[in-house]
Structure 1
Amino acid sequence: MIKNLLRATTAAALALVPLALFTPAAHAAETVPIAVAVSRLAVETESRAGYDRDAFKHWNSGLNATDGCNTRAEVLIAEAVSAPAVGARCALTGGSWWSYYDDTTVTSASGLDIDHMVPLAEAWDSGASGWTAARREAYANDQGAQASLVAVTARSNRSKSDQDPAEWLPPSADALCRYVSEWTATKLRWNLAIDESEQDRLYFVASGCTDTTVTYEPAP
């Protein structure tokens, strides 16, 4: 019932979205209502056959290969609420971060994980198994979109593990709309599919996020 209602709402929203959104220039960013964004995701059966976490090389040297900071450290620096001091070999001291999954402030970089918004195993299941090694490395270290990698408490990241929104959502109720928006944006950015249970949960959460939009830019 909810999914049918959301699909009807989506159809109405599609009628209001400018035609230009459907004929974007290469790699142009788009912003659309969340229900429209979910409707753009291909629905396919997922398979984890052959998955190996080592197929996704991370963390690499990040955006600046000469600064001694790998992708993990660069994300921590970028997402800090108060900046840490950066020492030799990119050792981070001080600073603070806000983990939006569980509405928790963290004051030590060691207490944080860098979460892949769409976990590596889930990416494999939904399309990355057919990618080249170079594209999987680009995915695993993606700093081209703010939603792709997020600094969160180790506790919340390990609770999430490799689960999709049908199986896990952030414990903070205030995080739900943002999380589903960023999950959808990441799957659209990397042209990853969803399965039916995932689609159902995305539409269900989206029904309570009517003012939420999804912004995404296709990965190079």
Structure 2
Amino acid sequence: MRRSILVAGAIAVALGALVLWGPAVPVLIPSEPSPGAGAVAVAAEHPFAIGDAQSARDQLAGLSIVSGWSPADYDRDAFGEAWFDLDGNGCSTRNDILARDLLEVTLREDGCRVATGTLIDPYDGSVTDFVAGPDTSPAVQIDHVVALAWAWRHGADAWSDEQRIAFANDPGNLVAASAATNQAKSDESPAEWLPGDLDFACRFTIAWVGIVETYGLGVSTAEAETIRQVLEGC
């Protein structure tokens, strides 16, 4: 009975989000180097540019069912140095993603650090002018589509350090987003948080499920049922 109540509650949250979805917003997904990207290597394909609903439904059906709880507290340091240069191109992962996702990019003298650019937030279409600096850089953040804390609770706590570093810096799990969006999304799954636009909420969920499947993570029973219902509407 308790499990049924939990599942019903989770479904209600997702369906409530569906009701609250607003009008469609334009979402730009760069697929080519931004003008002026210079020496920064363009990262792998944007995670929201691939996938389809039926494939995501099939992937979801094959995921392991887990509790969504870890006996060890989540620690960001368990995923290694933030924005570690995993591909060895001499640029931090953060700068790789900024160069990929921003428009009208300019670089600093080192040819690596992004100095300025324009973000069109993939989640809500809002526009943010990026200017590098201690007070201005935080306006544009790098979001993990599948959040590190969520991954920790769903299987990443048992990974090796190398696996966690790879996951934290995988461009296929990273997008530039506004500070407001990144903080609102936090470490939640599509069972708990969805973008406001219906079409993009589907795109987000499809990408999210694909990443979870790729890395062999699991979902709870309630999450699986709620996400399945979201995908059925795509």
Normalising by the smaller structure, the TM-score range is 0.7 to 0.9
Aligned mates of 2:202, 2:214 — CA distance in 1: 18
3-state DSSP class of the match of 1:106? strand
Q: Distance in 1 between matches of 2:166 and 2:56?
A: 26
Residue number in structure 2 paired with 1:84: 106
Structure 2 CA distance, aligned partners of 1:156 and 1:30? 22
Q: Percent identity?
A: 32
Per the TM alignment, residue 30 of structure 1 is displaced from its structure 2 partner at its CA by 8.9
Per-residue CA distance 1:90-109 (angstroms, 9 max, x = gap): 33223222211111122205
Mind listing any 5+ residue stretches in structure 1 that lack a counterpart? 4-28, 210-220
Distance 1:104 1:55, change over 3 A: same
Q: Distance in 2 between matches of 1:187 and 1:174?
A: 20
Other-structure match for 1:181: 206
3-state SS, counterpart of residue 199 of structure 1: helix
Match of 2:147 in 1: 119
> Number of matched residues?
178
1:207 and 2:211 equivalent?
no
**Unaligned stretches of 5+ residues in structure 2:** 1-10, 12-49, 132-136
Which residue matches 1:22?
A: none
Work out whether residues 35 and 203 of structure 1, in 8 Å CA contact, stay in contact via their aligned partners in 2: yes
Aligned-pair CA distance for 1:89: 7.2
Which residue of structure 2 aligns with residue 195 of structure 1?
A: 220
The alignment's TM-score, normalised by the length of structure 2, stands at: 0.69
Measure, in 1, the Cα distance between the counterparts of 2:207 and 2:99. 20
TM-score w.r.t. structure 1 length?
0.73
Report the counterpart of residue 165 of structure 1 in structure 2.
Answer: 190
In the TM superposition, what whole-angstrom CA distance separates every residue of 1:45-71 from its partner, at most 9, and x where no partner exists? 121321211101121024234x3x200
Q: Deviations over 1:71-117 (max 9, x none)?
A: 01101111223333343373322322221111112220522111111
Distance (Å, rounded) in 1 between the aligned partners of 2:178 and 2:51? 30
SS of 1:152 mapped into structure 2: strand
Q: What letter is aligned with 1:60? A: F
2:165 is the counterpart of 1:142: no
Q: 2:84 aligns with which of 56, 60, 64?
A: 60
Counterpart for residue 6 of structure 2: none
CA distance in 2, matches of 1:191, 1:179: 18
Which of 133, 138, 163 in structure 1 is aligned with 2:161?
A: 133
Q: CA distance change for structure 1 residues 182 and 86 in 2, over 3 Å: closer, same or farther?
A: farther
What RMSD, in angstroms, separates the aligned Cα atoms of the two structures?
2.4
Q: What secondary structure sits across from 2:177 in the alignment?
A: strand
CA deviations 1:106-136 (Å, max 9, x no partner) are: 2205221111111111111111111111111
